[in-house]
Amino acid sequence: MRILFVGDVFGRPGRTALIGGLPELRAKEGYFDFVVINCENAAAGFGMTERLMNEMFDAGVDVMTSGNHIWDKKEFVPVLDREPRALRPANYPPGAPGRGFGVFEKNGRRLAVINLQGRAFMPEVDCPFRTADSIIPALGCRVIFVDFHAEATAEKIAMARYLDGKVSALVGTHTHVQTADESVLPLGTAYLTDAGMTGAHGGVIGMKYDSVLPKFLTGVPSKFEVDDSDVRLQGAIVEVDEETGRACDIRRVQMSRGG
């Protein structure tokens, strides 16, 4: 099975890069059995809307993961309850809207996707390690993909080592900076600390430099504006043996989309 995972889709530049880039990637790579994206920054950098979600599903996305910003657009919160393909981190406390994992079927193939959120330098949530332990045995699926939305590199590596051999792949999101440490761990789990960002790289992690700098200089909140320069699509392609659930390969993806 071949899975394409696309890192945090950021604002209009990210959505345009994703929708325009998917056909090119398919032409280059041949096929993807599943396309999974992180969507939490898709609406002007903060949250998601139902209209944008449907646009990306129509473009060929199969599953959407997210993170702490998925709650930013309040009108989207009810969508999480009725759309099983749009996930929020599974380790939010009981009673939070939506779901944090699912098993998805396409062309006779089955993929489980788990969305988790880290706790180091992040909003307070339940333990992602214990949450993963509670979910995995109940999935009934050999191929399991995890988006670990976390700030700290150490926490991401620790989670990957903890889940090595229990899941097919664990790819990190949230920092918007693609790392160069892709590997298949000893027990068969593909790993990448951060998939990067699909959006503008000419500013500051998706925002215009001039709109971000005043906050660093003065400490006073400023209104951030989405950048549109040096647009790239970033992510990873994971290949998995469906019989064993073990990863065969993981490769980083980066495509320039102009700007």
Per-residue tokens: 24:
């090119």
Evaluate whether 112 touches 102 at the Cβ level (below 8 Å).
yes
What gap in Å lies between CA 45 and CA 29, rounded to an integer? 29
Which distant-in-sequence residues (6+ apart) come within 8 Å of 227 by Cβ? Answer: 13, 199, 200, 202, 203, 204, 206, 207, 208, 209
Pairing of strands 197-200, 8-9: parallel
Active-site option among 69, 149, 174, 201? 69
| Beta-bridge partner residues of 56 | none
69 in catalytic set:
yes
Which distant-in-sequence residues (6+ apart) come within 8 Å of 235 by Cβ? Answer: 4, 5, 6, 7, 37, 195, 196, 198, 252, 253
Per-residue tokens: 246:
């073990």
Task: List active site positions.
Answer: 69
